[in-house]
């Protein structure tokens, strides 16, 4: 696993976050503006709790995109370790991108992703195969790819968040 460091700066008018790799190359950056109050012409104030809840959560979301849960957890633990002795960090994904299934299934469409999803689970979610379905081969386009690839359809063929699954038609 590559080392990734995440930094967060809560400023007066915005929250900035940055993710860099071990060589110092910027992987992601985010800037989220938050509200300020002007109680007097020469004074600006911000609600730190509001900045944290609104700005930091959105900045973390933008910066953490593309990191695995383990990478993000390690980055957060490292970042917090500069301020807190032995931080205990637990990260859990609240919502994954949905998967898409089309072709020879009863109900093609968009469905919520679940951890450890397989193609057979996805087909079952979509109402099962049609009578014309090719049950030996599946075509998957991963969210990060531009083209789909064919795979043998086995009980363990995995599906990732954002995948588009196509069940082809059998020839005979």
4-81 folds as: Nucleotidyltransferase; domain 5 (3.30.420)
A 10 A CB-CB count for 61 gives: 12
Cα within 13 Å of Cα(163), Cβ side: 21
pTM above 0.75, yes or no: no
Q: Where exactly are the structural domains of the chain?
A: 4-81, 99-167
How remote is the C-alpha of 43 from its chain's centroid?
A: 39
Q: What is the dihedral of CA 142, 146, 152, 153, to 10 degrees?
A: 50
**What token pair was written down for 11?**
């400023």
pLDDT one-digit tens code per residue, 120-140: 999 999 999 999 999 999 999
The yes/no answer on whether domain 99-167 falls in CATH 3.60.150.10 is no
38-95 residue pLDDT tens: 888 888 776 666 666 555 565 566 566 667 778 878 877 887 777 778 878 777 776 7
**CA angle centred on 170, ends 166 and 172, rounded to 5°:** 175
């Amino acid at each position: 696993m590559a080392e990734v460091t995440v930094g967060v700066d809560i400023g007066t008018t915005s929250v900035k976050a940055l993710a860099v790799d071990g060589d110092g190359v910027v992987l992601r950056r985010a800037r989220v503006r938050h509200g300020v109050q002007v109680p007097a012409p020469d004074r600006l104030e911000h609600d730190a709790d509001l900045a944290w809840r609104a700005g930091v959560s959105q900045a973390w979301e933008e910066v953490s995109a593309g990191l695995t849960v383990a990478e993000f957890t390690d980055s957060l633990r490292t970042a917090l370790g500069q301020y807190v002795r032995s931080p205990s960090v637990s990260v859990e994904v609240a919502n994954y991108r949905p998967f898409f299934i089309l072709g020879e299934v009863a109900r093609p469409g968009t469905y919520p992703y679940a951890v450890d999803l397989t193609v057979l689970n996805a087909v079952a979610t979509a109402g099962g195969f049609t009578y014309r379905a090719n049950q030996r081969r599946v075509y998957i386009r991963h969210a990060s790819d531009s083209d789909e690839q064919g795979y043998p359809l086995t009980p363990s063929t995995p599906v990732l968040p954002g995948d588009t699954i196509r069940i082809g038609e059998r020839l005979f």
